[in-house]
Amino acid sequence: MSEAVPVALVVALVVVVLVLLVVRRGRPRDLVAPDRPAADGQAEVLRLARAGRTVEAVKVLRAQTGLSLLDAKRVVDLLAAGGTWSPGVPVPGANVDDAVRAEAARLLHRGRKIQAIKVVREHTNLSLADAKRYVERL
């Protein structure tokens, strides 16, 4: 009977491992939404953007997310400036109309950066940090 206990434990352990493997195999792995780049793709876009290789970064980002050319360019500019962006989040600056952009640029060129940021924030739903980055890119 003393030999039966270790054998039973080994058999039970093998059965548990097999069950876990079967359950794990049947479960879908972490699926990525079609409009969300994979983690390695995000790193690639960030690396290219920060290296100043804007065109390549835009191309990779568009292939991964399906963003328009303008939105992908805005995201790459944001990343190159040290900002962050997550797929599914509105592209900073995408909803700024021409009048607001012109007013912010006018204020910025007159040395009134804070007022320019305020104008952008009043007319968009951008955060303070995103509005600041937007104004700095004008």
The domain spans of the chain are 1-90, 98-137
What confidence tier does 62 reach under pLDDT thresholds 50, 70, 90? confident
Long-range contacts of 105-109 (CB under 8 A, 24+ apart): 105/138, 108/135, 108/138
Quick: pLDDT tens for 112-123.
999 999 988 888
State pTM to two decimals. 0.41
Highest mean pLDDT out of 12-26, 31-45, 79-93: 12-26
- φ, ψ for residue 10, nearest 5 deg: -65, -45
Residue 103 pLDDT > 70: yes
d(CA 54, CA 40): 18
